[in-house]
């Protein structure tokens, strides 16, 4: 089976989508990647979901990617002695390291790293930005603030410090334990939350050591300031609009989203647009027109994938949400204007042999009636560079490496196929490529296919061959 679209769908698994029947329904409705959110659920639950996904993969013969999403450092206020408090604009309110339950005048904030980074005039956002405090005076263990925007504050609500680079690692002890467990599970992608600087991604990369792709979740203003360096150290990127929309003015998020997608397309790194895409489908069988337009905008921009969070993890209509996203993507990609927009935003190729080959693939497909592009790859690099070109026909990626085949399920336009044995010569390459293209439904006997590979065969990073053949 193959999807009748180029952009991919990431579906989060959770309480509403943990049984085999529902997960299979999500896959059949269009999910290409399953996100395991380690902010919720036990290791045992994630193990059970992994087993279900792998069974579906084996039964269908289509590689499926699993994305482990690490929780990251969660900064929260402590408890209150007598329940929630109501803060009004102009009130004085203190945050400190004292563990005594909070009152109308103060609350515990058990994060010394926040106080170490504060200075007068800094804003603190509580409860997803609903409450805004401005620091008047601060020290190593306290901050005296004035309420700028008030509201009801209850215990354990999150704290954001948008203007400050916090001196904390993006990997907490919980994350390290979850990461070790996830790598043992054989996850294909690892997403790092609350990335602030390139060093965060380098730390993750050093731990993972190639056992999975590393993905940066961009949700902090500090990360946007060093966007290119973070993209360079990542294998993929997620536009995490939830916290990004808390820490930055809402009116800036659309342009930042486009900037991130553009940077990833230039670099040839897969990019996911995420959060609140079909939010109303948590409790309704259809989305709002604005939500449908939001998904469509990401596709017109050339994003590799769009993601469902609570819609598929805990909503009432998980299968319907995936099916709706599938239909929106397909409708956009049928629009003649879509191809015009994608071509107009095409990035210049790098001055490398691999990019010369992949650029030629794209040009060939635009000049002659090519049914499919076929890429042979061991590392996934050739297929990703071909996908970067955003060709008019699918990229049929053939690899003897199953982890690579799974990882490429995230990439735009890539239909990934795992084969047991690598090819050893050009006739074998053509024969295998044409047979796979026909078997997978990308070509019929007699159709033209264009093939990219590397010689000598079996060596990663040697893309230097373009071959046109008839299936």
- Whether 217 sits among the annotated catalytic residues: the reply is yes
Residue 450, CA distances (Å) to 103, 136, 369, 390, 471 in order? 69, 65, 10, 15, 10
Catalytic-labelled residue, pool 217, 220, 241, 388:
217
Q: How far apart (Å, rounded) are the C-alpha atoms in residues 105 and 331? A: 54
Q: Does an H or E element contain 275, and which?
A: none
∠ Cα 238 240 243 (to 5°)? 155
Catalytic-labelled residue, pool 8, 35, 258, 362:
35
Is the bond preceding 456 in cis, omega lying within 30 degrees of 0? yes
- Whether 340 sits among the annotated catalytic residues: the reply is no
State the DSSP string of 368-398: S-EEEEEEE-SSSHHHHHHHHT--SS-EEEE
* 31-65 burial: b if 16+ Cβ within 10 Å, else e: bbbbbbbbebbeeeebeebbebbeebbeeeebbbb
Catalytic-labelled residue, pool 76, 134, 174, 211:
76
Catalytic-labelled residue, pool 275, 375, 399, 463:
275
- Whether 406 sits among the annotated catalytic residues: the reply is no
Q: Which two tokens stand for residue 286?
A: 């259809």
Residues, the chain, total? 471
Q: Cβ atoms within 10 A of the Cβ of 304, count?
A: 27
Q: Does an H or E element contain 337, and which?
A: helix 336-344
Q: How far apart (Å, rounded) are the C-alpha atoms in residues 417 and 228? A: 31
- Whether 35 sits among the annotated catalytic residues: the reply is yes
**Cα 79 vs. chain centroid, distance in angstroms?**
33
Q: Which residues are catalytic?
A: 35, 76, 217, 275
């Amino acid at each position: 089976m193959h999807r009748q679209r180029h952009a991919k769908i990431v579906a989060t698994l959770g309480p509403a989508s943990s049984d085999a029947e529902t997960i299979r329904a999500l896959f059949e409705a269009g999910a290409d990647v399953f996100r395991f959110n380690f902010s919720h659920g036990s290791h045992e639950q994630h193990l059970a979901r992994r087993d279900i996904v792998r069974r579906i993969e084996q039964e269908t013969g289509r590689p499926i990617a699993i994305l482990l999403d690490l929780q990251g450092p969660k900064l929260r206020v402590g408890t209150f002695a007598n329940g929630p408090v109501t803060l009004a604009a102009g009130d004085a309110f203190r945050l400190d390291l004292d563990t005594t339950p909070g009152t109308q005048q103060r609350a515990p904030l058990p994060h010394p790293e926040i106080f170490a980074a504060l200075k007068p005039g800094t804003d603190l956002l509580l409860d997803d930005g609903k409450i805004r405090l401005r620091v008047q005076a601060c020290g190593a263990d306290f901050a005296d603030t004035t309420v700028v925007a008030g509201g009801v504050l209850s215990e354990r609500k999150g704290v954001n410090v948008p203007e400050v680079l916090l001196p904390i690692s993006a990997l907490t002890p919980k994350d390290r334990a979850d990461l070790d467990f996830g790598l043992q599970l054989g996850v294909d992608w690892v997403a790092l939350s609350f990335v602030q600087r390139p060093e965060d991604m380098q730390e993750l990369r050093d731990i993972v050591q190639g056992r999975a792709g590393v993905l940066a979740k961009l949700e902090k203003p500090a990360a946007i300031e060093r966007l290119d360096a973070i993209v360079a150290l990542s294998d993929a990127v997620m536009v995490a609009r939830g916290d990004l929309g808390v820490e930055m003015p809402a009116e800036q998020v659309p342009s930042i989203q486009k900037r991130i997608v553009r940077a990833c397309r230039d670099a040839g790194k897969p990019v996911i647009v995420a959060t609140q895409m079909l939010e109303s489908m948590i409790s309704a069988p259809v989305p709002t027109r604005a939500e449908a337009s939001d998904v469509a905008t990401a596709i017109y921009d050339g994003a590799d994938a769009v993601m469902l969070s609570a819609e598929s993890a805990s909503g009432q209509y998980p299968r319907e949400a995936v099916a709706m996203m599938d239909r929106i993507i397909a409708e956009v990609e049928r629009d003649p204007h879509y191809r015009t927009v994608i071509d107009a935003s095409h990035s210049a190729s790098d001055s490398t042999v691999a990019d010369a080959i992949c650029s030629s693939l794209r040009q060939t497909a635009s000049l002659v009636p090519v049914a499919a592009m076929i890429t042979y790859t061991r590392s996934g690099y050739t297929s990703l560079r071909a996908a970067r070109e955003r060709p008019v026909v699918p990229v049929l990626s053939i690899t003897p490496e199953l982890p690579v085949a799974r990882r490429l399920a995230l990439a735009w336009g890539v239909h990934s196929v795992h084969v047991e044995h690598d090819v050893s010569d050009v006739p074998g390459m053509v024969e295998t490529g044409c047979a796979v293209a026909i078997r997978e439904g990308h070509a019929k006997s007699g159709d033209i296919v264009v093939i990219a590979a590397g010689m000598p065969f079996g060596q990663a990073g040697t893309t230097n061959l373009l071959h046109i053949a008839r299936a």
